[in-house]
Amino acid sequence: MLAGYTLLVVLTLSLNRIERRQAHQQLIDRLAIALIQRVRHVEQFSPVLDQMLMPGLAVKLLPQGSDFEPRLQWQEDGVILESASPLMLRDGQQRSLLLRQDVTDSIAQQNLSLQLLAAAAGASAMLTGLLLRPVMTHGLVQPLDALSRQISSYRSPSEPPPPLDVARQPEELQPIAATFNAMQERLASSWERQRTFVDGVAHELRTPITLISGHAQSLQRQPAAAALGPSLALISAEARRMGGLVSDMLDLARKDAGRLELRRQSVDVEDVLLDCYERLVAGADGRLRLQPPQDDDCLPLAAGDPERLAQCLVVLVDNALRYSPAPSPVRLAVEATPSSLVLHVLDRGPGVAPAERQAIFGRFVRGQAAVNTRGSGIGLAVVQLLMEAMGGLVMVSDAPGGGADFQLHLPLLDGRQVDPLQQRVAGALIAEGLP
């Protein structure tokens, strides 16, 4: 629209210029005819002109060859349009007729027209903008927002949102909606194939791993297999490790399929911590330490799944023993906060860099400290998904005195508040550390 108004201004200026020159040329032609008819000699030129000239005009004879095209002269008292045209008098003399015409009023009228046109263009642009805003809002902005919200609701291929209704989208957005639906179908199909593969492989591996572990343990109990003791112990340990890995893969597959089931119930965190300590202390070479709560009162109950919580603790303790140099201890501790119970697994290893503290909980992601250390990279991912399924969270920070402090936060069972002074005292005692 603005381009159209600009073109109209340019055309108006050009037309005014052409009309002004045409009128000027017609005036020259009329004067030339009148002068040729009345003036025989140059001496008669002035008296005749005095009778013919109108206000705003000035005429003068110039020597032959002084011709020039019409041109505007801007002066302090106005605008003059002047030109010099060839003129032959009746006596045969050649001259140039200089005509100076005052076009101040014409230029002023032209400027007024342009100002009115500019004002009309501005008013039209403003009105069009005001009318276009609701049209754009209802016709494009709102459909784009709706489309953006629908696309943003796509969290994972395992939980796809309903496909976009292509027919209800504006014509401009229909190709985008159709492309997104096709992409969503491809991702969902690919994810389903991947989930089925992982789930099937994990199930198929559990049986042979269980058989290998069982037979290895059975052979270890036979007196004749004493010479094969180290090999059988290694087979048994590797079978247990593979069993744990398969279990983790199953948990990931169930989570992706939305079939991960947990038993939400009251949890006595002290019992779970003590049970894990008793299960793991034998294989920790005396490095695992259990730090009792620092309060005389019993800790409140938490809400969660005791077996899954123990599974998380086993993963964290195994990592802590692996990454901490021997014979540095790994400590288990628990503290109460106003809204949760926090289980700590503290080690004396290299710790976790702040830039990696979120990334290490991703699948198959390992931090810089994992170089030359055995691991699959899915243990912490399983811990995170299990804690989130229980309504809690897992995080890592620096341990007092160096190392890493992995924390499992479980919500309280009845939402009771713990005394803030009790929380600060427990935190201070944990920060001091126990040998």
Is pLDDT larger for residue 190 or for residue 155? Answer: 190
Q: What is the mean pLDDT of residues 194-223?
A: 75
User: How are beta strands 94-102 and 78-88 bridged, if at all?
Assistant: antiparallel
Q: Does residue 177 fall inside a structural domain? A: no
277 and 332 Cβ atoms separated by less than 8 Å: yes
44 pLDDT more than 70:
no
188 and 160 Cβ atoms separated by less than 8 Å: yes
| pLDDT band, residue 197 (cuts 50/70/90) | confident
Q: Does residue 73 fall inside a structural domain? A: yes
Verdict on whether the full-model pTM lies above 0.75 = no
Q: Does residue 138 fall inside a structural domain? A: no
Rounded to 5 degrees, φ, ψ at 159 are -130, 65
Q: What is the CATH number of the domain that holds 193?
A: 1.10.287.130
Side chain identity at residue 15, one-letter code: L
Q: What is the CATH number of the domain that holds 49?
A: 3.30.450
Q: 208 and 75, same structural domain?
A: no
Q: Does residue 154 fall inside a structural domain? A: no
Q: 57 and 106, same structural domain?
A: yes
Strand order across the 78-88 sheet: 57-62, 94-102, 78-88, 68-75
Q: 295 and 269, same structural domain?
A: yes
Q: What is the mean pLDDT of residues 365-391?
A: 80
Rg (CA), the chain: 47
Side chain identity at residue 79, one-letter code: V
Q: 374 and 269, same structural domain?
A: yes
Q: What is the CATH number of the domain that holds 290?
A: 3.30.565.10
Which tens digit of pLDDT belongs to each residue from 298-337?
Answer: 788 899 999 889 989 999 998 899 888 888 999 999 998 8
164 Cβ partners below 8 Å, 6+ apart?
A: 147, 150, 177, 180, 181
Q: What is the mean pLDDT of residues 106-111?
A: 83
Q: Does residue 299 fall inside a structural domain? A: yes
Q: For residues 236 and 243, what is the distance between their CA atoms, to the nearest angstrom?
A: 10
Q: 269 and 253, same structural domain?
A: no
Side chain identity at residue 252, one-letter code: L
- 403 CB neighbour count, 10 Å cutoff: 20
Q: Does residue 404 fall inside a structural domain? A: yes
Residue 76's domain comprises 2-110
Q: Does residue 296 fall inside a structural domain? A: yes
Which tens digit of pLDDT belongs to each residue from 251-300?
Answer: 777 777 666 778 888 999 989 999 999 988 888 888 999 987 766 567 88
Q: Does residue 160 fall inside a structural domain? A: no
Please give the share of the chain, as a percent, with pLDDT higher than 70: 81
Q: For residues 45 and 27, what is the distance between their CA atoms, to the nearest angstrom?
A: 17
What's the pLDDT score for residue 434?
38
- Residue 100's DSSP bridge partners are 58, 82
What's the pLDDT score for residue 405?
94
Which tens digit of pLDDT belongs to each residue from 388-433?
Answer: 989 899 999 999 888 999 999 999 987 544 344 444 344 433 334 4
Of 90, 110, 130, which one is at a domain's C-terminal end?
A: 110
| pLDDT band, residue 249 (cuts 50/70/90) | confident
What's the pLDDT score for residue 387?
92
Q: 227 and 350, same structural domain?
A: no
100 pLDDT more than 60:
yes
Domains: count for the chain: 3
Which tens digit of pLDDT belongs to each residue from 52-83?
Answer: 556 677 777 788 888 888 888 888 778 888 88
Q: 395 and 280, same structural domain?
A: yes
Of 78, 110, 142, which one is at a domain's C-terminal end?
A: 110
Q: What is the mean pLDDT of residues 171-185?
A: 83
Is pLDDT larger for residue 411 or for residue 164? Answer: 411
- 273 CB neighbour count, 10 Å cutoff: 23
Of 225, 257, 289, which one is at a domain's C-terminal end?
A: 257
384 pLDDT more than 80:
yes
What's the pLDDT score for residue 332?
93
What's the pLDDT score for residue 46?
63
Q: 423 and 275, same structural domain?
A: yes
374 pLDDT more than 50:
yes
Q: 296 and 238, same structural domain?
A: no
Q: 427 and 294, same structural domain?
A: yes
What is the average pLDDT value for the chain, to the nearest integer?
A: 78
Q: For residues 423 and 419, what is the distance between their CA atoms, to the nearest angstrom?
A: 6
Q: 270 and 253, same structural domain?
A: no
Q: 410 and 313, same structural domain?
A: yes
Helices 2-38/104-136 angle, 10° precision: 160
What's the pLDDT score for residue 28?
78
Is pLDDT larger for residue 95 or for residue 381? Answer: 381
Lowest mean pLDDT among 214-223, 245-254, 280-289, 376-385: 245-254
- Per DSSP, the residues of 132-192 read HHHHHIIIIIHHHHHHHHHHHT---TTSPPPPP-GGGS-TTTHHHHHHHHHHHHHHHHHHH
Q: For residues 176 and 120, what is the distance between their CA atoms, to the nearest angstrom?
A: 39
